[in-house]
């Protein structure tokens, strides 16, 4: 039975599943999977099984371009790959272990460009499996900074934007019952630079779910209008009364002058 060779460039998510029925040169139970890449891109490889080793090999040079070594938890690594054919060698850390199932997730790591007009990213959240949280990591290069609000169309999720130094510059927890309209969203001051966007989908996600994430510039004129729209009834009455009093005073002064 022939096994299809996936092209990672044709989808933003691929899952390689199988069993370690083979063996490596050092005697560890293993499996070998072949895939291709048709355009240069950065990919994130995540092994969802504990105590599992993964080597990504460029078959044209037989060079290891990425490797993962999971312990008790899932682990991931990113690698920039050019067009070509690659092999994923999935092996068990314990050479005396029997045959086990494995699951290797591959996502194309998006590189988003952000200007003063904001930024937009589209993705697909995957349901957690085998203890994997489904966390996604993407790159954002901010060319022009400014003040922005953020919109994520994935309910009950969390996200954070981190600088190269590991400092969180923006984040939100959509599982909290706070207002989500434009006027009450927090404003994030983001300076030019390179950042990493981390998206954590809800733990109870049942199926693959497309989503959009975008930064929207905070317009000062809209912000001023928002402040006026949130004016209390008492403040509104007093303000309107003050306007009328000034108007009456001006009219009275005009009448007195004519007399």
| CATH code of the region 111-221 | 2.60.120.380
- Sign of the four-CA dihedral 41, 5, 137, 183: positive
What is the full DSSP assignment across 206-221? -S-EEEEEEEEE--HH
User: Is pLDDT above 70 for 182?
Assistant: no
- What is the tens place of the pLDDT at every residue in 183-208? 457 889 999 999 999 998 888 888 88
Helix (H, G, I), strand (E, B) or coil at 246: helix
User: Is pLDDT above 90 for 238?
Assistant: no
For the chain, the domains span: 8-108, 111-221
Helix (H, G, I), strand (E, B) or coil at 74: coil
User: Is pLDDT above 80 for 168?
Assistant: yes
Instruction: Please list the residues that pair with 64 across neighbouring strands.
Output: 57
Query: Is pLDDT larger for residue 41 or for residue 255?
Result: 41
Determine contact, residues 18/31, Cβ cutoff 8 Å: yes
Judge whether 8-108 and 111-221 match in fold: yes
Reported as a pLDDT band with limits 50, 70 and 90, residue 127 is confident
CA distance 150 to 127: 23
Instruction: Please list the residues that pair with 216 across neighbouring strands.
Output: 149
CATH of 8-108, one of 2.50.20.10, 3.40.190.80, 3.30.230.10, 2.60.120.380: 2.60.120.380
CA distance 131 to 129: 5
CA distance 212 to 153: 6
- What is the tens place of the pLDDT at every residue in 54-69? 999 999 999 999 999 9
CA distance 110 to 50: 27
50 Cβ neighbours under 8 A, 6+ residues apart = 70, 71, 72, 73, 74
- What is the tens place of the pLDDT at every residue in 133-153? 678 888 899 999 999 999 999
């Amino acid at each position: 039975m022939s096994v299809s060779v996936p092209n990672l460039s044709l989808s933003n998510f691929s899952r390689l599943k199988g069993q370690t029925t083979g063996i490596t040169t050092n005697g560890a139970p293993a499996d070998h999977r072949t895939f291709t890449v048709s355009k240069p891109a950065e990919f994130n490889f995540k092994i969802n099984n504990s105590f599992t080793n993964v080597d990504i090999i460029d078959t044209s040079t037989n060079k290891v371009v990425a490797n993962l070594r999971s312990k008790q938890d899932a682990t991931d690594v990113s690698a920039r790959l050019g067009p070509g054919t690659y092999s994923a060698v999935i092996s068990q850390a314990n050479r005396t272990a029997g045959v086990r199932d494995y699951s290797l997730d591959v996502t194309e790591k998006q590189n988003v460009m952000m200007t003063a007009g904001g930024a937009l990213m589209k993705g697909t959240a995957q349901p957690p499996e085998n203890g994997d949280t489904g966390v996604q990591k993407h790159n954002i290069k901010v060319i022009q900074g400014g003040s922005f609000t953020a919109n994520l169309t994935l309910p009950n999720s969390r996200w954070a934007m981190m600088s190269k130094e590991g400092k969180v510059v923006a984040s939100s927890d959509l599982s909290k019952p706070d207002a989500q309209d434009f006027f009450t969203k927090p404003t994030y001051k983001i300076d030019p630079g390179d950042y990493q966007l981390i998206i954590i989908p809800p733990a109870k996600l049942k199926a693959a779910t497309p989503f959009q994430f975008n930064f929207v510039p905070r317009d000062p004129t809209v912000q001023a209008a928002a402040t006026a729209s949130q004016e209390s009834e008492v403040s509104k009455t007093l303000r309107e009364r003050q306007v009328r009093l000034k108007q009456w005073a001006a009219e009275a002064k005009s009448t007195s002058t004519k007399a």
